[in-house]
Amino acid sequence: MGYSLKDLTKIEETVILAIWRLGEKAYGVEVRREVERATEKSVNYSTLYATLEQMVRKGLICKQFGEPTAVRGGKRKVFFKPAPEGLGALKEAFERQKNVWAGVNDESFKRGCI
C-alpha cells in the first residue's frame, strides 16, 4: 500500500489527538492550548487553522457551531469532533507507529541499540 491522502501528517495527528482528548469542549482556543501543552511548543494560528480546515475538507473531523458569547465579540464557537474516517486514520497511524517503533524504549537510546 502506497502513501495515500488518508495518511495523517505529524501536525494532523497531533491536532486530531488533541481534539479527541478534549472531547465535548474541543474548540479553537482549547485545541491550541492542548496542542501546546502536549508538544511543549507554541503553535502558530495559521498552522493550526490551516490544519483544522484541511482536516474538515478531508472529512477527518467534523465541525459544529456553538452559541455566541460576549467574550468572543459575539461570535460563535466552532466545536470539532473526530469523524469516523479520522478515527480510522488514527487507528491506522497508531498500528503503523506500533510496528515502526516496536521494541524501542528509553533504554534503547541509552544502550545505543534496540
Partner 1 sequence: MTLISKKRRPRIRLELLAHCYRLSLGEGFAGDLEEDFNYLQLNSGNRSASLWLWAQTFESFPTFIRIYFQWGWAMMVNYFRTFFRNIMRYRSTSMINLLGLSLGMAVFLVILLFTRSERQFDRFHKDYQKIYRLVSRHPASKDSYAGTPAPLGPALKEAFPEVEDYCRLKQRSYVVKTTHLSVRESRVCMADSNFFAFFTFPLIAGNVNTLLINPNSVVITESTAKKYFGDEPPVGKIMNFHELGDMIITAVCQDLPVTSHFHFDLVIPFVHEKNRYWGSWNYKTYMRFHHALSGDDLKNKVDSFFKGKDDLEQMLESVHYQPITDIHFQYNRSNWEPAVNGQFLHIFQAVAVLVLLLACLNYINLSTAYAQRRSKEVGIKKSVGVTRNQILRQFLNESMMMAVFAEIIALFLTMAMLPLLNQFAGHALDIPWHDPVLYCGAAALVVIVGILAGFYPAFILASIKPAVVLKGQTIVKKRSHLRAVLVVLQFTASIILVVCTLFINRQLHFINNVDLGYNREALINIRLNSALYERSSQIKNAMLGLTDVSEASLNSYTANSMNWNQSVYWEGQTEDQRTSMWLFSADTDFFETMDITLLEGAERVLNHHPGKDKAYYVLNEAAVREVGWEDAIGRMFDMNSGENMNGEVIGVVKDFHFRSLHHTVDPLAIYINKRGRWLSLRVNADNISQSLANIARSWQELAPGFEFEYEFLDDRIAKSYREEQNLGVLLNIFTALSLLIACMGLISLASFTVSQKTKEIGIRKVLGASTKGIAINLTQQFIKWVLLANLLAWPVALWGVRAWLNNFEYKITLDWEIFLLAGFGALAIAILSVSIQTVKAARTNPAENLSYE
- Residue 43 contacts by C-beta under 8 Å, 6 or more apart in sequence? 32, 35, 36
Contact between 1 and partner 1 by CB under 8 A: the answer reads: no
Among 5, 70, 100, 113, indicate the residue that binds partner 1 (CB under 8 A).
70
Q: How far apart are the first and last CA of the chain?
A: 27
* Rounded least distance, CB 96 to partner 1, Å: 29
Q: How far is CA 38 from CA 33, 34, 55, 58, in A?
A: 9, 6, 19, 24
List binders of partner 1 among 20-49 (CB under 8 A): 27-29, 32, 44-46, 49
Looking at the Cβ atoms of 65 and 94, the one nearer to partner 1 is 65
How far does Cα 40 stand from its chain's mean position? 15
Size of the site for partner 1 (CB under 8 A): 24
Residues lying near partner 1 in the complex (CB under 8 A) are found at: 27-29, 32, 44-46, 49-50, 52-53, 56-57, 63, 65, 68, 70-73, 75-78
